[in-house]
């Protein structure tokens, strides 16, 4: 039995292989230009477990090694505190330390998503990036309007009907440079909007072909984008042993600190899957609007009256995460 740690970079990989007694049997650096060299270097060591940190380079290593019968482990980079705190840090040390942690069973495992899930997430991230750019452009236009004491509801700026208001009401009050900035930003928004709509069509088609996304879309307030995002991020649901694990993965469980017999519950953690958390939290207002009689809506309204809408939205999203867990585990659609 052998255990290998790979410290991956763009141009090379540093490899360290240990036997079951912890003896270093291979220490080498290989170029990524010829991936077959990695397979040849690891060929004498079977059976073999390999660990790689989460980074942009792990997918090609996974797709190279798994067909060769090598067990692949993906290590959560943020949880590898032993490497981050090591007094001596270089590629060779990191690779050997990864191998020793794998040998000792100390690797914080991450889920290596298959190719089709990574493609779905690229599509979704692409849309999110373009929407983010469009929002930034709109915010800069709002900033120029505010400097001249002009107010416009945020959701109306991207509507075509607003263009007439800009040119008739706002234009005379803007300076020459402000007009140039607004004109340029509107042109960029006009270029981004058709791209986003095209991505929306692709996302809708992909969600319709995905059985998990189709099931999640039966929940009021969860459309094609959110359903495909949750399907790509959470599948397979069996990797979460209990609903609490899914809630924790989504970062919806408050931080708990206990010491000296005292327990304090704080805010929700930062280090979590922000995509899942964002999708669930943002789905709550839409759900309340489309399903006013559901248990989710009732929970939200009760918590909102007692704790305010911000806390209520997160707490209700936590309940929605548990419902989604049971829906996917039992292969059931939303029942209200």
Identify the three-state secondary structure at position 6: strand
pLDDT, average across residues 74-83: 83
- Tell me, which fold does domain 2-110 have in CATH? Nucleotidyltransferase; domain 5 (3.30.420)
Identify the three-state secondary structure at position 64: helix
Share of the chain above pLDDT 70, in %: 93
**Burial of 300: CB neighbours in 10 Å, binned 0-12, 13-18, 19+:** buried
- Whether residue 15 has pLDDT greater than 70: yes
Q: Taking the domains of the chain in order of start, what are their residue ranges?
A: 2-110, 115-209, 216-256+272-330
Count CA atoms within 13 Å of residue 98 on its CB side: 31
| Model pLDDT, residue 84 | 65
Q: Where are the alpha helices (DSSP H) in the chain?
A: 36-42, 58-65, 81-84, 91-104, 115-147, 161-165, 176-209, 211-216, 224-234, 243-249, 274-290, 295-307, 309-330
Q: What angle do CA 14, 19, 23 make, to 5 degrees?
A: 80
Express each pLDDT in 199-243 by its tens digit. 999 999 999 999 999 999 999 999 999 999 999 999 999 999 999
Express each pLDDT in 105-140 by its tens digit. 999 999 999 999 999 999 999 999 999 999 999 999
- Whether residue 157 has pLDDT greater than 90: no
**Distances in whole angstroms, Cα of residue 84 to Cα of each of 81, 89, 144, 201:** 5, 8, 44, 43
**Distances in whole angstroms, Cα of residue 128 to Cα of each of 125, 162, 195, 210:** 5, 24, 12, 20
- Whether residue 336 has pLDDT greater than 80: no
């Amino acid at each position: 039995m052998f255990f290998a740690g790979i410290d991956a970079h763009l141009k090379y990989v540093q490899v360290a292989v240990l036997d079951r007694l912890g003896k270093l049997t291979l220490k080498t650096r290989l170029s990524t230009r010829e991936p077959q060299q990695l397979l040849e270097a690891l060929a004498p060591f079977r059976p073999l477990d390999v660990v790689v940190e989460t980074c942009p380079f792990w997918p090609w290593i996974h797709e190279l090694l798994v067909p060769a019968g090598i067990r692949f482990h993906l290590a959560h980079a943020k949880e590898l505190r032993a490497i981050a705190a090591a007094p001596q840090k270089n590629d060779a040390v990191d690779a050997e330390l990864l191998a020793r942690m794998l040998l000792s069973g100390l690797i914080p495992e991450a889920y290596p998503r298959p190719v089709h899930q990574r493609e779905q997430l690229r599509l979704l991230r692409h849309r999110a990036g373009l929407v983010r750019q469009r929002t930034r452009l709109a915010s800069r236009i709002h900033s120029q309007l505010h400097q001249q004491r002009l107010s416009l509801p945020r959701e109306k700026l991207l509507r075509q009907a607003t263009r007439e208001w800009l040119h008739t009401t706002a234009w005379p009050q803007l300076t020459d440079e402000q007009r140039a900035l607004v004109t340029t930003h509107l042109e960029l928004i006009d270029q981004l909007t058709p791209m986003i709509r095209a991505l929306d069509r692709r996302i809708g088609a992909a969600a319709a072909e995905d059985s998990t996304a189709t099931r999640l879309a039966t929940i009021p307030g969860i459309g094609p984008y959110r359903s495909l995002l949750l399907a790509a991020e959470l599948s397979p649901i069996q990797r979460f042993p209990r609903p609490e694990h899914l809630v924790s993965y989504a970062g919806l469980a408050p931080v708990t600190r206990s010491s000296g017999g005292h327990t304090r519950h704080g805010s929700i953690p930062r280090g979590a899957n922000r995509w899942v958390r964002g999708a669930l939290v943002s789905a709550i207002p839409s759900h309340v609007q489309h399903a006013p009689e559901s248990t989710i809506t009732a929970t939200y309204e009760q918590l909102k009256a007692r704790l305010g809408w911000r806390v209520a939205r997160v707490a209700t999203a936590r309940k929605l995460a548990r419902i989604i867990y049971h829906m996917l585990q039992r292969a059931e659609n939303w029942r209200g």
